[in-house]
Chains A and B, each alone.
Chain A
Amino acid sequence: MADSIGPELKINRANGDECVLPAEEIRKDHMKHLNHQRDDTMYDGIRTKQFSLKECINCHANKDEEGKYIPVNAPGEFCQTCHAYTSVKLDCFECHATKPRDTAFHPIVTDKMKAFVEVHETPNTKSMLDAIAIKNGAK
């Protein structure tokens, strides 16, 4: 039943079919989790991925025909669709990036970063982007 409520969403299934929580839960409570995570990250440097806004964007940013990312707060995109439907202002993206970092400015990738990634399997920005690009057939 829950799936028939509200507007139809553009969901990128290339990154998997499951959200970090069951859909009913994340629909209702995403801001609770994001706000909690935000303070943990800001003050304690805790950067777990489950409720990280950055990871939401990595999964939910769609690409246009030219393969460029569309901001998640653009009309018809993942975040904006429901927020427009429910008339709830979307504040996150006054500051936060609305798409994964793809083109112009690659960070410097150091040996230490590579070693860290090998041990912890936490992709740095560049390799994460490559993985996303490969998944989406851009490479």
Chain B
Amino acid sequence: MSQQKINQYRRDFLSKTTATAATGAIAPGVMLMSVGQAQARPADKAVTDKNRWGLLVDSNKCADGCSDCVKACESENAWGSGSSDEQKSDAQQKAQWIRTVTLKNKLTGSEHQLPMMCQHCEEPPCVDVCPTGASFKRADGIVLVDKHICIGCRYCMMACPYKARSFIHENLHDQAPEVPRGKGTVESCTLCVHKIDRGDGNTACAEACKHQAILFGDLKDPNSAIAIEMKKHATTQIRADLNLNTGVRYRGI
């Protein structure tokens, strides 16, 4: 086979196979396009930057006084009320992966609440300041702490503009099998990374929100519900002035 023919063959092959992760080839030239997002990745395949996971929070839908998302996170990730640990820590010291914040417009007096958690920045300040490399961003945009190398210095807690991280002050015994947590390390919202890897295609907070105020999805997939919603409506990043390109976006603030 001539070199030109090989190249042509390679080009055809590549153009058919690399379209998207959600595309399957039935036969040469026949493609099956899946509309659904969050295709299950095989357990032995590494995450790639083809996806970027994020949340869209509609604070107009978020009901005052409701904390279902916080409770669901606590139960899923075994912190706060979802665990029997951290009895000695005070309110300032206890873990807080997600919290509700009430905003008040002083001029009009209007009040509304929204959930606040790690914003999974594309340029995370927590990663910049980490002296050991424990704070890192996964290829698919999830910001995590590698607790095996975290020394508990808490620089990241100081650097985070969203006050999203907390430090564990005491020995724990009641962790969830998929969510290791331990004394002397920093932690924050993992975007339910174990659920994403399992292929659930949702986070505990988004599943629990009966007001549909939280939407989880792939920001890089133009067909995902979150990308469509973000194309249709104006959305806000909190502290957009910091140019962090957050993975968690808000509507109605």
Contacts and interface: CB of A to CB of B under 8 A. Distances in A.
Interface of A: 38, 40, 42-49, 54, 57-58, 71, 94-98, 100-101, 104-105, 107-108, 110, 112-113, 116, 119-120, 122, 124-125
Given A45-B46, A46-B44, A120-B40, A105 B200 contact: no
Contacts of A113: 198, 200
Contact of A105 (B47, B176, B197): B176
B128 to A, nearest CB: 18
B168 to A, nearest CB: 9
A54 B47 contact: no
A101 B198 CA distance: 17
Chain B interface mostly helix, strand, loop or mixed? loop
A108 B45 CA distance: 26
Interface in B139-162: 139-140, 144, 146-148
B125 interface: no
Contacts of B41: 45
Contacts of B173: 71, 98
Interface string B186-199: 00000001101111
B207 A46 contact: no
A96 B175 contact: yes
A40 B41 CA distance: 15
B24 interface: no
Nearest to B171: A94
Contact of B177 (A42, A45, A54): A54
Contact of A110 (B78, B181, B200): B200
Chain A interface mostly helix, strand, loop or mixed? loop
A98 B208 CA distance: 27
A80 to B, nearest CB: 14
B72 interface: yes
29 contacts: A42-B148, A44-B46, A45-B46, A45-B193, A45-B196, A45-B197, A46-B45, A47-B43, A47-B197, A47-B198, A54-B178, A94-B171, A95-B147, A95-B175, A95-B180, A95-B182, A95-B185, A97-B175, A97-B177, A97-B180, A105-B78, A108-B72, A108-B76, A108-B207, A112-B200, A113-B200, A116-B40, A116-B198, A122-B198
Contacts of A57: 177
Given A46-B43, A54-B178, A107 B76 contact: yes
B79 to A, nearest CB: 11
A42 B134 CA distance: 11
